[in-house]
Each structure stands twice: as C-alpha cells, then as structure tokens.
Amino acid sequence: MLVQSYNPFHHLMLSALVAAIPIILFLLCLTIFKMKGIYAALINLAVTFLISMFVFQLPFGEASGSVIQGAIQGIWPIGYIIVMAVWLYKISVETGKFDVLRASIASISQDQRLQLLLIGFCFNAFLEGAAGFGVPIAICAVLLVSLGFQPLQAAMLCLIANGASGAFGAIGIPVGVISTLNLAGHVSSMDVSRMTALTLPIINFTIPFLLILLIDGFKGIKEVWPAISVVSISYTVSQAFITLLMGPELADIIPPLLAMGLLALFLRKWQPRHIFLLNGQTVKIEKHTIGEVIKAWLPFYLLSIFVLVWSLPAFKNLFIPGGALDFTVLNFKIPGSSLISSINLISATGTAILLAGLTTIALTKSIDFKKGFSLLQTTVKDFWIPIVMICAILGIAKLMTYGGLTNALGEEVAKAGHIFPLLSPILGWIGVFMTGSVVNNNTLFAPIQATAAHILGAKPALFVAANTAGGVMAKLISPQSIAIASAAVGQTGNESVLTKMVLKYSVGLLAFVCLWTFVLSLLY
C-alpha cells in the first residue's frame, strides 16, 4: 500500500463500498451490459485509476507505475506462457502428431466408459495443463461425439471433468500469478500450491467415479471400478505430490500422463466382462504403430522435461543475485514511481516451453522453422486481445493493492469473522463465473482474500487456495465455458440446456469446498 490511509471517508463501510466499485462495475459490464471482456477490463482500469488517485489519494506517478507494472507482468511471464503453450499445441496439430495422439488414446478400449476416463478425464486434464483457455473442453467433447456420445452429454461430461484440472491450466498460471500480486502475508504461488493439496485431491479422486455414474449408473461403477481406481489414485496422488514439492507448473502435465499410461497398461491385462456401448455399435478407429505413437507424444515429452528442469531448485538458483545467470534477470525502476519490475529472460517458464517447441520442430521432418514461426505469429494474433485483457486486470489489481482499496475491502469482509472461511470460496466462484477465468479471478479476489485472512489471524494461503478451488467449480458453468462447449459439439443455441445439465454439479462441488475450507480454517 502506497497511500497513508485506506479509509478516506473515515467510515470503513463507505470506503469499502467505493473500493468495490471496480469489481462491481466489472461484473455489471460482463453481465447486464454484456460487454466483451476486453472493453470491460479497459473501462474498469480507467475507473480504478481515477478512484485510486482522487479518492484514495494515490499519487499520479505511483498510479501510472502500478498500471505499467501490471502490464509488464501480464505480458511477461503470463502472456509469454500462454502464447508458448498454445504455439506448442499448434505445432502438434500442424505436424499431424495430434491426430495420431488422439487415435492412440481412443484405440485403447472399445468400452465407452473407459474411453470417457481416457479422453474426457485424462486427456482433458493434460490439454488443460498444456494449453488451457477452452482448448481441452472443445477438443475432448468433439472427440467423444466422434466415438458415439451425444453432443450435449459429451459437453457436460468434459465440463465436469475439467473441475479436476482447472486450477493448474496453461502451465499452472492460475496459481502461478499469485507470486506477482504482492499479497498480504507475503503469500507465494508455492504457498497456495501446497495449500490446494488439502482440498483438490478429494475432488480429483471423486470426479472419475462421478463421470462413470453419469453414463452408466452404479452398475457401471461396479463393473469398471478397478479402472476408475487406477485413474483416481494415480492422478490424485501424483498431483498432490507435485503441488506439494514442485509447484503448480507441472500439476496438469505429469499426473494425467501418468494416469493415462497406467490405465493403458492396466487394460492390457484387464477388461470389463461387459463392453459398454452407448448406441450399441463400435466405432472404427485408425490404428498406429508404437513408433508413430511415441513420435506423436514428442512435443509433450519435451514440454514435461524442459518445465521439470526449469522447476528444479538447482536451476532456479542460477538466477538469484550472485548466481551464474543472474545477468539475465532485468530489474528496473518504473519511471516516475517507487515501483520495481523485473523480466526473467531465461528462467521464465515460457522459455522452457519455447525450447520444447523449437526442439520439436528440429526433430520433425514435416515442419520447418519457417512454418513454425508462422504458427507462432498466428498464435500471437489469436491471443493478443486476451493478453491485453489480462494486463488490464493486473493493472486494476495493482491499483487496488497500492491504492489501499484492497485493504478497505479486506477489512470490511473480515467483519464476517469466523464465518468468513465458509464464504471465502463463493468469492472465487463468482469471480470465475463472471470472468470465465481462474487467472482473472485470482488476480481480482486473491488480494482481498489474503487481506481478510491477515486481519482475522488466519492463514492467507488457505483463503487464496479456497478462492482458487471455488473458482474452478464455477468454470463448469461460466458463460465462456458453456459457449465453447456448446459451439464445439454443434449445439450453439442450447447453452441454457447445457447450463442446467451442469449447474447442480457446480453448486454441489462449491458447497463441499465451502464446508471443507471452514473445517481447515479451524485446524490452521
């Protein structure tokens, strides 16, 4: 906070109401006024700038510096990761590797319950980690339809399955963004990553069972429970292990690959007695050799290897002050302000993904660097608007933090006292429902959660983790997710039907997160 007081009206409720204007206006722009996200973000950036300056007395230089700092962090590292992740995915599609990869998964079993586990859950989670931004829901829903699932049914299943992976989409950005926010209590992305391991594993373990229940009832669970257990246990345990020890970057990369691989090996020795087919007919699937399948997974092997190296403490130590590569970290003061910003040229996770993409091109005959860079140019063109929107939202978050607006809101919501942990995930749920993004939700609401926790004497990382988990449950029914899923399966116009199909699961999972967060608040 760079102002003398976060209570300019000397009345906390009034000051908090004014501090809430940016958030309320942002939500109104997206819902009542039905603005595009980029317009809503830019308008609210301007409004927040004026409120922070003229009401909360943030000096012009500091206010301008806040916006610049937010924009820099929105581009680097967040935008950098987004562009590189989607670029790698586009390389996989362009080279034909992705088609082979999909066919290799679908051919493991003709039983459509097992295909749902492999594609709707495991592959969905992997694509969430590798690309995010609606890619997994669209691709997996279309693939399930091609295997005989009904369109809206496929969309519903993929949306529900995404609840197990939405917290760590696009190389862990929703949690990774926490470290850029300067939260109360000095909460880092690693702190939040570890705290999610107390809540998300329970949900992750349950969702595969829920998916089978939805298409074949308890009878289906009874018939294929060994396969469900392989997926649930391997995914849940490995993700918890990674989030506890390594952080969020690989939490949606290694666990789904491991679960998929173990299930494939398990199904070579075990198959259900009854092959379940939704329409009574098998679907012919193109077969590929083991060599072709191994080559098809190359981009994602490389992604995992490079990101794993980038997350090792020994590698990170190269970039700390005095480290061998500390000269690649550019630290500079933002002109006209007291704020410091930095750009990590090599240690940024985006660089690891960039190297995975370049290595894939070098090792693949069907694509050259000219085509690869053309795909990169297309990716930047496709995603510059979402990145500008993220920059604007980060600018809003910085203004609210440095201008004291977050402190005013945190003080006010903390008046809920010991009941606040029960309500904490609902803030996250509202944030994602309105913005369609766990990243944007954490950017807007994590500072408020951390401030409230700090005031209450609770663990700030717990409330930020609750904000993340609650937000993921809203991703199932956010208008953005519903629109993507409906369009992917050719059901544009039936968004309301799909929303009704998924709503009760979103609310049910949110209720669990609320109750469980309250229990955890008593223990921590």
DSSP at 10: S
Of 185-189, 374-378, 394-398, the range with the highest mean pLDDT is 374-378
Nearest to 390 by CA among 64, 38, 22: 38
When comparing pLDDT for 375 and 479, which is higher?
Answer: 375
Record the tokens describing residue 467, joined without a space: 């904000």
The angle formed by the CA atoms of residues 41, 44 and 50, to the nearest 5 degrees, is 145
When comparing pLDDT for 87 and 34, which is higher?
Answer: 87
**Residue 176 pLDDT exceeds 80:** yes
**What pLDDT digit, counting tens, does each position of 256-281 carry?**
999 999 998 999 888 898 888 887 66
Burial per residue of 450-488, b for 16 or more beta-carbon CB atoms within 10 angstroms, e otherwise: bbbbbbbebbbbbbbbbbbbbbbbbbbbbbbbbebbbbb
Least confident of 183-187, 355-359, 456-460: 183-187
Determine contact, residues 499/177, Cβ cutoff 8 Å. Answer: no
Q: Band the pLDDT of 356: cuts 50, 70, 90.
A: very high
Stretch 504-510: mean pLDDT? 93
Nearest to 235 by CA among 258, 202, 267: 258
DSSP labels for 93-156? HHTTHHHHHHHHHHTT-S-HHHHIIIIIIIIHHHHHHHT-TTHHHHHHHHHHHHTT--HHHHHH
Beta strands in 409-468 (DSSP E): none
Q: Band the pLDDT of 374: cuts 50, 70, 90.
A: very high
Please count the CA atoms within 13 angstroms of the CA of 311 that sit on its side-chain side: 22
Residues 227 and 264: their CA atoms lie apart, in Å, by 10
Determine contact, residues 253/304, Cβ cutoff 8 Å. Answer: yes
Supply the angle between the helices 169-176 and 80-94 in degrees, to the nearest 10: 170
Cβ-based burial of 288 (10 A; exposed 0-12, middle 13-18, buried ≥19): middle
**What pLDDT digit, counting tens, does each position of 415-443 carry?**
878 888 998 998 888 878 766 778 878 88
pLDDT at site 142: 77
Determine contact, residues 519/511, Cβ cutoff 8 Å. Answer: no
**Residue 219 pLDDT exceeds 90:** yes
Distance of alpha carbon 381 from its chain centroid, rounded? 21
From residue 211, alpha-carbon distances to 153, 264, 487 in Å are 11, 18, 22
Residues 246 and 312: their CA atoms lie apart, in Å, by 8
Determine contact, residues 410/455, Cβ cutoff 8 Å. Answer: yes
Residues 156 and 486: their CA atoms lie apart, in Å, by 9
Residue 409 neighbours by CB distance under 10 Å: 24
Q: Residues in the chain, how many?
A: 524
pLDDT at site 281: 66
pLDDT at site 377: 95
When comparing pLDDT for 61 and 408, which is higher?
Answer: 61
DSSP at 334: P
The angle formed by the CA atoms of residues 415, 178 and 435, to the nearest 5 degrees, is 75
pLDDT at site 283: 64
Strand partners of residue 340 = 333
pLDDT at site 129: 85
pLDDT at site 256: 93
Task: Determine how β-strand 340-344 pairs with β-strand 329-333.
Answer: antiparallel
pTM over 0.95: no
* Dihedral over Cα of 388, 391, 397, 403: its sign: negative
pLDDT at site 92: 87
**Residue 80 pLDDT exceeds 70:** yes
pLDDT at site 300: 80
Q: Which amino acid is at 436?
A: G
Residues 243 and 113: their CA atoms lie apart, in Å, by 29
Three-state DSSP state, 342: strand
Nearest to 335 by CA among 98, 62, 81: 62
